[in-house]
Structure 1
Amino acid sequence: MRVGIVCPYSFDAPGGVQFHVRDLAEALQELGHEVSVLAPADEDTPVPQVVTPAGRAVAVRYNGSVARLAFGPRAARRVRRWLEAGDFDVVHLHEPMVPSLSMLALWLAECPVVATFHTSQARSRALQVAHPLLRQSLEKIAARIAVSEDARRTLIDHMGGDAVVIPNGVYVDVFAAAGAESRWQGTADAPTIAFLGRLDEPRKGLQVLASAAPAVLERYPGARFLVAGRGDDGRDAAIEALGARATSFEFLGGVSDADKASLLASADLYVAPQTGGESFGIVLVEAMSAGTAVVASDLGAFRRVLDDGAGGRLFRTGEPQDLARVLVEALGDPVGTAERRARASAFVQRFDWSVVTRQVLAVYEMALAAGEAIGVDGMPDAVTAADDRTGWRRALRPGGGEGA
């Protein structure tokens, strides 16, 4: 199968969606499919071989973060050339409502289109404004995927229709096999607690962790907080808030994929203090795969990834005192923490790319069938009642389903 994948966000500053697109392309190639990815990136930006750079992007504030997007006539010409050269059997768009390459590809594509929705937002003025303008184009989407129930709910509430939930993927074995680094390992009296995320995005919760740290250090004076991620402003604000205790925080800057896996495998705990805007929680899955005990805010997405607390401990979102309590509890209860780690190691297998890729390919096959056999009310004749029982049918109804 010839598959074209479009990423709306730039590889100049890669994040979760870009990594998901990269890994999906690699997983599909390993199964023998021909894959090409189109994404914003400067010509001199190092990108995976499968990625075709679509040029410079512009930074835009979106969903509590900064998204680097590409739009306009020049970007549209590049999308058109890529589509014509690829002659794809199916085009897989990520975040087609974001004004970037995916939206342009939705307008221009003539083959079956699959769309994945990553965003989780209680209310989005941008989506409310964009939906009436894009309603007709959205009808071109043959099948919809949401990466979580939270992303699915956002899709239903803002655009109607429905989607099948297929989670983000992780190469579980890669993280499970990662070797620990002595410089990041702790002891019973001086444990290490890891955090990964952009430091200048408040929703990532670094300030929550900084506010919780003094109470943890009262119980474990030798504790070290290993902070990986870019964003000098966020780092400086955390150091200022910590005062004399700032020496307990080690800021590692951006880390490679290999170092990230090693960091997770080395730490006693991984903490995810995010305050909102999270539709999935891929780094939790990575930490669980590495065998690291997890403490996370009780966002709906995180609660589901942690199997409602069976795979890791949860604390009340945005409350430093409760985070400190749970961190001390996790460090002081090695038996309970080990039990959660064991459950997590089993639970995380459902997120492995070997499982996720098969689910994505099933959606591709249905999108292809939909392109050949459109039945009454826009529902493909090829989609059977059995498909409906397994939950796949809802992904193929452009305007129906809950909230239509």
Structure 2
Amino acid sequence: MKILLVSPFDFTFPGGVNEHILHLDAQFRKRGHETRVLTPRSLGEDEQDDGHFIKLGTAVPIPANGSTARITLSPFVSGKVKDLLLRERFDIIHLHEPLAPALPLLVLLHSRTVNVGTFHAARSHNLGYLYGKPVLAYFFSKLHGRIAVSPAALEFVSRYFPGHYELIPNGIDVELFRPDVPPIERFDDRPTILFVGRYNESRKGFKYLLEALALVRREFPACQLLVVGPGDPRRFKWLIERYELEPHLRFVGPVAPHELPRYYASCDVFCSPATGRESFGIVLLEAMASGKPVVASDIRGYRYVVRHGVEGLLVERKNPEALALALVHLLADRDLRERLGRAGRQRAERFSWSVIADQTLAYYERLRAVGVRRPLTPVPRPSITRIPLRGWPGGETS
């Protein structure tokens, strides 16, 4: 098949949606399919087509879902998108966050082939979908197939655009994240908790982990928390000083993807205290594939990945005492850590990118067998310049 994968997000900046696309792209090519990837370009970067990646429209930062989405808002690349689709004649166009401005909408506007949309985000509400529905309904009607990456994402999008959705989750590279990866030598044998993510974002719940660490320290005075990911520790200076946590903290900063598995290998327990708006939880799968037990908030997106008492422990969100109790419980029980870690690895293998790619390709084939049909209820074609941006549910999943 000839497949176009479309991202609304600038590929210069890492994120869950773009990672998802890159892994599907690699798996599809491995199976002999011809793929192209369409994305916006970074500010100052030229438009380009290297035969694989196509970059059209300048990306600008937009606050979204407690994060920042870098998307293009320009409708002026419409003609170039139209020419691309006419020239390439794709069998499948797979759009990620297909109702995001503006690149996916322009593709849907001009597409005459089988369109598939994957919905990644999960929130409690969305004003962009609510007020933009009269306009977005046209683009939604052009999707022949709809995928949600988790029950949380499905529930969220169905609230505004009901219909049938295929549940095909995010994946994990089980060859990269493995239990036999060597740990990092500079970290000693102290009881070690790991956090991975953009810790400055309030939805990641990092402050609750710091408060929990102060309690864990009472039972394990030598414990340490490794913090991997972008952020500014000065934002939490008052909390660190209040609880005298500095000797127990190692802020590592962002690390290269090939180095990340070694940080998982260096911990005893992985912790994700997110407060909500997480549709899936890639970091949970990374820890599980690495054979590490998980302590995480009991939120909808995480429940789909981790089963309480099987691969990890789920606790009440925004509750430092509950976090601390679960962490102490695991740090004190090596046998339990190993049992949860083994179960986590087994479950993670069900989410391998090879499995996810096969599920996605099988869905493509079912849609192609049906063929391209017009919607049963015609929806008027709108102008994409009328789409409201306020409250749009973008941002990257993690």
TM-score, normalised relative to structure 1? 0.87
Q: Superposition pairs for residues 218-367 of structure 1, below 5 Å? A: 218-232=218-232, 235-243=233-241, 244-367=244-367
Map of 1:397 onto structure 2: none
* Residue of structure 2 in register with 1:137 after alignment: 139
Question: Any conservation in 2 of the 1:226–1:249 contact (CA below 8 Å)?
Answer: yes
The answer to whether the aligner puts 1:164 opposite 2:158 as a matched pair is no
Q: Could you report, residue by residue, the CA deviation over 1:253-307 in whole angstroms, capped at 9, with x for unpaired residues?
A: 1111111111112211111111110111111111100111211111122122012
Q: Deviations over 1:182-222 (max 9, x none)?
A: 336553xx212111111221101111111211111122222
CA distance in 2, matches of 1:288, 1:236: 30
How big is the shift at 1:82? 3.5
Q: Distance in 2 between matches of 1:303 and 1:175?
A: 21
Secondary structure (helix, strand or coil) at the match of 1:271 reads strand
Please give the alpha-carbon distance, in whole angstroms, between the structure 2 residues aligned to 1:287 and 1:44: 38
- Displacement of 1:113: 0.2
Q: In structure 2, what is the equivalent of residue 148 of structure 1? A: 150
Q: Which residue of 2 aligns with 1:7?
A: 7
The one-letter code matched in structure 2 to 1:347 is R
Deviations 1:65-121 (A, max 9, x none): 111111213343443343334321110000012213212211121111000000111
**Equivalent of 1:97 in 96, 99, 104:** 99
The 3-state SS of whatever aligns with 1:257 is coil
Amino acid at match of 1:3: I
Paired residues for 1:17-56 under 5 Å: 17-42=17-42, 43=45, 50-56=52-58
How many correspondences in the alignment? 373
Pairwise CA distance, 1:375: 10
Which residue of structure 2 aligns with residue 125 of structure 1? 127
Q: 2:82 & 2:73 partners in 1: Cα distance?
A: 13
Percent identical residues: 34
Question: What is the letter of the counterpart of residue 182 of structure 1?
Answer: I
> 3-state DSSP class of the match of 1:79?
helix
Change (3 A) 1:255 1:81: farther
Secondary structure of 2:94 counterpart = strand
Instruction: Give the AA of the match of 2:109.
Output: W
* Cα distance in 1 for residues equivalent to 2:262 and 2:82: 41
2-structure distance, mates of 1:46, 1:84: 18
> Which structure features the higher share of helix residues?
1
Pick closer, same or farther for the CA change 1:44–1:171 going to 2, 3 Å.
Answer: farther
**Which amino acid in the other structure matches residue 56 of structure 1?**
T
Q: Which 10-residue stretch deviates more, 65-74 or 45-54?
A: 45-54
Cα distance, 1:251 vs structure 2 = 1.2
Counterpart amino acid of residue 101 in structure 1: L
Preserved contact between residue 39 and residue 56 of structure 2 (Cα < 8 Å): yes
Partners of 1:228 and 1:106 lie apart in 2 by: 38
Secondary structure at the counterpart of residue 285 of structure 1: helix
SS in 1 for 2:286: helix
Tell me if structure 2 keeps the 8 A contact 1:274–1:317.
yes
Separation in structure 1 between the aligned mates of residue 137 and residue 182 of structure 2, nearest angstrom: 50
Amino acid at match of 1:117: F
Q: Equivalents in 2 of 1:116, 1:141: separation in Å?
A: 10
Asked if the contact 2:174/2:349 (under 8 Å) is kept, the reply is yes
Q: Give the superposition deviation at 1:26.
A: 0.6
- Counterpart of 1:63 in structure 2: which amino acid? N
Question: 1:163–1:280: structure 2 CA closer, same or farther, 3 Å change rule?
Answer: same
Q: Partner amino acid for 1:136?
A: Y
Q: Distance in 2 between matches of 1:78 and 1:329?
A: 58
Residue aligned with 2:238, SS: helix
Q: 1:86 to 1:376 in 2, by over 3 A?
A: closer
Question: Which amino acid counterpart does residue 142 of structure 1 have in structure 2?
Answer: H
Counterpart residue type for residue 26 of structure 1: A
Letter in 1 for 2:99: M
Q: Is the 8 A contact 1:155 1:161 kept in 2?
A: no
Is residue 11–residue 45 contact of structure 1 (8 Å, CA) maintained in 2? no
| 104 and 44 in structure 1: CA distance in 2 versus 1, 3 angstrom threshold | closer
Unpaired runs of 5+ in structure 2? 378-398
CA–CA separation in structure 1 for the residues paired with 2:50 and 2:186: 29
Equivalents in 1 of 2:163, 2:323: separation in Å?
A: 37
**Secondary structure at the residue paired with 2:41?**
coil
1:241 maps to amino acid:
L
Q: Greater relative contact order (Cα 8 A, min sep 6): structure 1 or 2?
A: 2
- Give a deviation string over 1:340-363, Cα, whole Å, max 9, x none: 112111111210112111110011
Report SS of the residue matched to 1:61. strand
Tell me how far apart the structure 1 counterparts of residues 374 and 245 of structure 2 sit (CA, whole Å): 66
SS of 1:159 mapped into structure 2:
coil
Q: Is the 8 A contact 1:175 1:290 kept in 2?
A: yes
Pairwise CA distance, 1:20: 0.7
RMSD, aligned CA: 2.3
Consecutive unaligned residues of structure 1, counting only runs of 5 or more, are: 379-404
Please give the alpha-carbon distance, in whole angstroms, between the structure 2 residues aligned to 1:33 and 1:259.
Answer: 30
Q: Distance in 1 between matches of 2:72 and 2:55?
A: 11
